[in-house]
Structure formats: structure tokens, C-alpha cells
Structure 1
Amino acid sequence: MAAEFHFFPRLPWELREKIWKLVIRPAEPGVHVFRLCSQGHSSRKSEHRAFTDQDDRRPCLWWLAAPQCLPKGVDFSPASREAAPISWTLNNPSTYLIDSGLWTACKESMLIIEREFQAPARLQHEWSPSEVKSFRAKRGRFTLPETTTYKIFDHSSLRYFTIFPLQDLLILKPPEVSYFDMGITDDIFPSLVSHDNYKKIGRYVHSRNAALEYDPAWDKIRHNGVEHRTPNIVRDIVESTSMSYTFSIWFIDYRIKRNPRHDQEATEEQADKSGDGPATVFYANDRRFVEVKKGQLGRTKGHRRMWDAGYEVETKDDEEPCSCCGSDGFMMQLQDFMDELDAQFASEDFYFPGAPDCIYITYRLLACEYV
């Protein structure tokens, strides 16, 4: 053991810099959980709300607030979520908690996190010093087009949260999913995508990721309504999200688990031959959210698919279960109605002066894996 203990401030800068960099979270897609609030649906307690440097410049009907997160391993239900306490830290797996302390620890930590968050590995493209200077003059010191920084007052202490909108996953918890309007993201993330950038991105390139928690009550929603009619919840979700800028909308089904009977090596080999890329993965503090692709979810006894739905459906002989049931079936219903709505907007008969654009949205499924 060393005979002498060196205080951190007295270490050489090169060594201190290496230590600080080890604290920075990896340059991987992160996960950020927020409660979504609006006027009339929540209180405006300052300790529960996240502020941006844009809030004082214009009114905002919606804002981000401290989430209600369930304990690790507890499956989602509307009742269990409502019973969870509102807190920025309790049970919160968000990536923003990893680096929030570095913004305010000291000048060195702030310098390192600011420099690392502008590294090319984290950004979509490099920005010249003149571009950065010009943008900061308009939007604030710590804000670049690829990042959005929030400040909150948590029991009188100031915290800073930073997200990367073009790579991170935003898990949003609205008062009601049917009341959810993705158009509000342009108010919440004002520096996210300008109209000019949107034209460059293109309507079929999904540059942002938002997630909602899947409610098991939707498993058989197709059979609870009028036959051959799209369920109201499906219509509400698609119609609201299709009015936003480019997005991939993910639904997290906490019941889904990896199937121990599945042959992972065979699947990877088959994926390589077909040209199908690897699954999308988002990384939180103590868990990760992994994409469940079409055809990978099994619900029958003894199935060998990659993912297990967490419940079994009895079928006759080798008959497949109903394709419109379960969380994967719900994704199919959303995408089918999105295709229908997109075709309507493309029709000349549907167009009228001032009609809004319909943006094509993809709906995808995520499993939660604890690490």
C-alpha cells in the first residue's frame, strides 16, 4: 500500500482529468424518465418541475416534471404507478442522474463534462468553434443542437440534467395516454429540430425516440370493441403522434423476458444473412431497454422464440395465437392505422388549404432487462 495519501486537488492535472473522465457516462443511448404535466393536470411545485432557458421567454402549456417510478422488478399497471411517490431520485433509473452532479461539483468537473458532451462520438456531426459560439449566444452556454439541459430545484439544491435528443430514449408519463399529444415536444424541446433541419432529415427518418409504458389491459383491446373498427385508444395514439416531427414511438412491456430455450447464435447468424441489423438498445442506470423485433415474441407453451411474453396463450395443436392480441399485436394495430392515416393524408381529396402534415411514425416494442 502507498505510504502517503494524496488529496485529489494536489494530484497532477493529467491524472485528475483521467479520473474525471471515468465518471462520465459512456457514449451510449441513454434513458431519461419524466412525468408529463399540463395546466389543470398537475401542480406547479418548483421541486417537481424541470426548467429550460426557454421557459422565461415564452409560455409553455406542457412541462417535464419528476417521475413516478416503480421499484425494480415491479410490473407496470396504472394503479401501481399512481401509488408510486413523485421523486427525482427514488427508484429513478434515468441516465441524467449519472452526470447531474458533475455539472455542479466544481469547475473542473463542469469543464470535463462540457467537453466530453461535445465530443464527436456523442454528436451527429462536429460543430466549428464559430458555430458553437453563435449558437450559445442565442441559446445558452451549455446547450448545443444535439443536447438539451434542464435545471431543477430538488429540496433547494440545483441540479442540471442533460439529454441527447437525437440518440437518447425519453420515457414520458402523461396523465392519460389518450390525452397525449406528441406535438408538445416542440414546446418541451425547443432546440430539438428546426423546420429547416426537419426538411433535411426527411419525414421517414426517425431521428428521435420517445417511449410510453404498455398497459396489459390493451392485450385484447381489439376484441372489446366493435368488430372491424379500430379501437379508440389506437386511433388516439396514432392521430396525436402523427402531427409531431419525426419520431419512433416505443412501448415498454415489463412482462417480456428472454426465453432460455432460444438459440441466440442461430438467430444472430440468420440476422447477418438477411441483412437485418442488431436490436436497438437504450441504457439506464440499473437496466437496459432492448428492442423486440417482429416475430421474436412468443406466447405459446414451449415456444423457442427469442422473447417470452410473460404469459401463455392456449391454442389447438400448432395453431398460432391471435395476431392482434398482446403487446406485439398492439404495435401491429398502431402501424396498420398509421398506414391508413398516411394514405388519407396523401390523397388529394383529403387536402385543404392549411391542412396539417401527417408525419409517418413507427411504433416499436421494448423489453426491460435488469443488469
Structure 2
Amino acid sequence: MASFRFFPDLPYELREQIWQQAIRPSAKNYSGIQHFSILHSNMKFESTAFKPKLIPSSRGVPTSCDEGITFAAEIPGTEGAEANRSAYMWDAGLWTACWESRQIILRHWEIKKWSEKRRNFQAEGFYGFWYREEEWRENQDCCITINAPSLITNDGGEEWQLMVRPYDDAFYFDLESLKDALNQPNPGRTWDNLVEIMQDLPFSGLNYCCQPVRHLIFDFDPNWLNNLPRYNAHVDSGSTQEFIIDLLWLLAGRSEEETHFHIWLIDRSRRQSSIKNGDEVLLAGGAGEEARVFYNCDEEFVDLGTAEYNPYGKSQLHDEPWKFEYDEGGFRKPTDILKCDESKLSAALAGEENEFAGWFIWWLAETLTETLSDIKSYPYTIDEPHLREYFWVEDHISILGYRS
């Protein structure tokens, strides 16, 4: 039996193939899921021993400044049950393994090309960049690397390169930290806080010659459909549902060029193969072979679109999750609160396949579309109906299910 040769003794061509295989996926329609928390310069830590692993904003380490609050991205922990499995962790070791691995990953992601492009924009003072759609489209494959603090204890504090693709990746922000950041004072600023935060992050914004991060991702919870108001969108204060509704309100109040934010809901009860049109696996609406795939170090999800949501036919289905009371004539009694059928909710919480996420989009569309469209029409008047733009909720929120 032949003995295994030491890795440095292998031919360069074979070593190169091995390094390439270790790099995270980069095929068309593959997008990483990136986890961060957001810290801001108004925060006070209870313990001075707490040292968050921060990537400062483009304006430096978050400290009070005359321009207002500054923001930084915190890298979540890498150990224990809540270990960080972001896509940027996939090939973090290739940046520090050796000179050869570093050169290969630099070439793979064309880092030199993007760094040079960024320097050229900065030299030209091109601050109108993110309003110009043509330049934005040309930079869809843009990769950004940032010096990140060491993640391992007793390694000498060696920094590594955290890499994100701001246009393609989806960003999973710790919700409590994001809410806190959005509630910070915004003196003298002309945009809403969400855009300011996204613009201020170290891997987003003008200093990196790209538009703000635009893909936000959340975990869907079947409990969201229980005790929902039937005729309005007032939900529990501080809930994830309320936050998603607030995001949709922000989108409705902005111009067409600024509505590229998209919300993705991870529904772990759905799979690509289960989204069907009759007897065929659905190829349209995001569930086909060309569907966009989102991945972290452990999981792959596929874009299911709205997962069979139909604004005209959904209410006709018999598998809706809510339990209604009926009068003697067989008609539904009016109700202001939608309560889930306990057996269906229990099955959904146990992970059995269901359409709860699709029904959540249905509820959002039913309760929000008309009022958000009123916002979209501002400042036009009824005398200029041709200028009105309708806001479609389902254009800005989609479902991710496990890839088959």
C-alpha cells in the first residue's frame, strides 16, 4: 500500500486543485448567508472585560462624533451551540494557512480587480455612485475583504480576511441589536435609519464603492400566524413580525431606485421538491434548477419565491391554518383575531411540512398592500392618477426552503 505524501511534496497542480476545492461556492446564483450583530457608539458595556470582535464602520471605530451615531459589525462567537456558521467562516483559514493558499483565494475572488476599482472610485470622489444603476449592475460580483480580529484564543492575535459579497450575500443581523441601532437618534440626517446603518457598515457604502446591503434574512416561526389581527397590521410591539412590517413601510416610502431591499424568510419545513404545480416540480417562481441558492457552512436553502402564495386563490384553499367558528347557516362568524388550529400549529412547530410561511405573506399582502400603495403615491394627487405606483408586498419578501 502506497504511503500518503506530505502535502508540500504534492505537485503544484494537485495542491492548487485541493485549495480550490476548499473555497466556498461561487457558482452563479449562489449566495452566502452572513451573520452579524450591530453595535453603535452610544452603547455602554456592563463589563470592561467584554471585548466584542468588531469590524469598525467606514468612519472608524464607533465613537461619538459630530456627524451622529457610528455603527460597527460584530462577529458572533464561533463556539458552543450557537456557533457562527456564516459563509465567511467557510474559507477563513485559507487566508492564513500559507502564502500559496492566500494567493489562490486572491485570484479566485479577483480581489486585486475589485481593490483597484475601489481605489479608482475613491480617487475620483465618486459620491453619486450608489444612485447610478448602470455602475451598480457592473459590480454585482463585487467581493470585499476586511481585516478581522482573531477568532481563536492564544493564536497570537493573528488577523484574518473576512470576505463578503455585498450585492449577492444575504445578511442575518441579530434582531435585538438591529432594533437598538434603528432606535438611535438620527440628527441632521436625510435618510431613514435603516439606510444609514447599511451605508455605515464596513462592507457596505460609498467607501467601498457599493450600494448599501440590501438582502435581509430572518428565521420564520409558525407562531407568527397565531393571534394575528384580521383587518390591520398592528402586532405585538417588539416582535419580529412588527419589524418586518416596519421594513415594508420603509420600502414603500422610497423611490423605485431605492427599493432593492428584499426580505428572505427561512422556512425549515419546506423543501424545493415539495413546491409543485400539479404533478410537476415548480420551475417558475424561484424553485427550479436555476433558482437562487443561499448557504452557510452547514445548510443550503433555495429560493421558493412565495411558495405557492396566490393573492387571488389562497383564500380559496382548504388548508389554511386558522380555525373559524360557524353559525347555524354554515357561514363564518366575524372575528378580529385569527387563531391557529391547534393541531395544525403543533404539527408546524414539530417541523412537519406546511404552508404557514406562504400564509404569512398572504396576510401581509392582504393587510398592507393598499395602505402601502397610498404611501407610494405620495406626493402625487388624485388629479394625476397616471403617476401612482402600486406597492406589491410579495415583490419584497420571499421564502427559503431546504434545497432538495
TM-score, length of structure 1 as denominator length: 0.63
- Which structure 1 segments of 5+ residues have no match? 68-86, 120-125, 199-205, 299-304, 351-357
Aligned residue number for residue 61 of structure 1:
70
- CA displacement at 1:286 relative to structure 2: 1.4
1:343 and 1:7 map into 2 onto residues whose CA distance is: 67
Aligned residue number for residue 330 of structure 1:
360
Aligned residue number for residue 130 of structure 2:
none
Q: Which amino acid aligns with 1:23?
A: A
1:42 and 1:369 map into 2 onto residues whose CA distance is: 39
- CA displacement at 1:214 relative to structure 2: 3.1
Aligned residue number for residue 302 of structure 1:
none
SS at match of 1:171: strand
Kindly indicate whether the alpha-carbon contact (under 8 Å) linking 1:146 and 1:192 is maintained by their aligned counterparts in 2.
no
Q: Which amino acid aligns with 2:399?
A: L
SS at match of 1:30: strand
Kindly indicate whether the alpha-carbon contact (under 8 Å) linking 2:141 and 2:168 is maintained by their aligned counterparts in 1.
no
Aligned residue number for residue 212 of structure 1:
218
Kindly indicate whether the alpha-carbon contact (under 8 Å) linking 2:143 and 2:165 is maintained by their aligned counterparts in 1.
yes
SS at match of 1:331: helix
Q: Which amino acid aligns with 1:167?
A: D
Decide whether aligned partners of structure 1 residues 89 and 111 sit closer, same or farther in structure 2, where only a CA change above 3 A counts.
Answer: farther
- CA displacement at 1:116 relative to structure 2: 0.5
1:127 and 1:349 map into 2 onto residues whose CA distance is: 44
Q: Does 1:239 align with 2:249?
A: yes
Decide whether aligned partners of structure 1 residues 259 and 360 sit closer, same or farther in structure 2, where only a CA change above 3 A counts.
Answer: closer
- Which structure 2 segments of 5+ residues have no match? 126-138, 183-192, 236-241, 311-316, 341-355, 382-389
2:17 and 2:53 map into 1 onto residues whose CA distance is: 34
1:128 and 1:47 map into 2 onto residues whose CA distance is: 29
1:135 and 1:144 map into 2 onto residues whose CA distance is: 16
Alignment of 1:233-272 (within 5 A): 233=242, 235-240=245-250, 246-254=260-268, 256-258=269-271, 266-268=279-281, 271=283
**Structure 1 counterpart of 2:298, from 274, 281, 286:** 286
**Structure 2 counterpart of 1:153, from 150, 153, 176:** 150
Q: Which amino acid aligns with 2:32?
A: G
Alignment of 1:291-370 (within 5 A): 291-294=303-306, 296=308, 326-335=356-365, 337=368, 340-348=371-379, 362-369=395-402
Decide whether aligned partners of structure 1 residues 56 and 194 sit closer, same or farther in structure 2, where only a CA change above 3 A counts.
Answer: closer
Aligned residue number for residue 77 of structure 1:
none
SS at match of 1:175: helix
2:117 and 2:141 map into 1 onto residues whose CA distance is: 10
- CA displacement at 1:109 relative to structure 2: 1.3
SS at match of 2:161: strand
Aligned residue number for residue 17 of structure 2:
18
Kindly indicate whether the alpha-carbon contact (under 8 Å) linking 1:93 and 1:287 is maintained by their aligned counterparts in 2.
no
Decide whether aligned partners of structure 1 residues 16 and 280 sit closer, same or farther in structure 2, where only a CA change above 3 A counts.
Answer: closer
Can you list the C-alpha shifts for 1:164-223, whole angstroms capped at 9, x where unaligned?
11111111112177655532111115645689976xxxxxxx994211233444313532
Kindly indicate whether the alpha-carbon contact (under 8 Å) linking 1:281 and 1:289 is maintained by their aligned counterparts in 2.
yes
Q: Which amino acid aligns with 1:166?
A: Y
Identity %: 22
2:116 and 2:402 map into 1 onto residues whose CA distance is: 42
Larger radius of gyration: 2
Decide whether aligned partners of structure 1 residues 196 and 2 sit closer, same or farther in structure 2, where only a CA change above 3 A counts.
Answer: closer
How many residues end up aligned between the 2 structures?
310
Aligned residue number for residue 99 of structure 2:
107
Kindly indicate whether the alpha-carbon contact (under 8 Å) linking 1:323 and 1:329 is maintained by their aligned counterparts in 2.
no
SS at match of 1:153: coil
Decide whether aligned partners of structure 1 residues 10 and 168 sit closer, same or farther in structure 2, where only a CA change above 3 A counts.
Answer: same
Deviates more, 1:53-62 or 1:213-222: 53-62
Decide whether aligned partners of structure 1 residues 265 and 220 sit closer, same or farther in structure 2, where only a CA change above 3 A counts.
Answer: closer
Kindly indicate whether the alpha-carbon contact (under 8 Å) linking 1:166 and 1:207 is maintained by their aligned counterparts in 2.
yes
Decide whether aligned partners of structure 1 residues 190 and 260 sit closer, same or farther in structure 2, where only a CA change above 3 A counts.
Answer: closer
SS at match of 1:328: helix
Can you list the C-alpha shifts for 1:244-279, whole angstroms capped at 9, x where unaligned?
66211112234x2349987689333x646x998654
Decide whether aligned partners of structure 1 residues 19 and 266 sit closer, same or farther in structure 2, where only a CA change above 3 A counts.
Answer: same
Q: Which amino acid aligns with 1:228?
A: Y
2:208 and 2:369 map into 1 onto residues whose CA distance is: 23
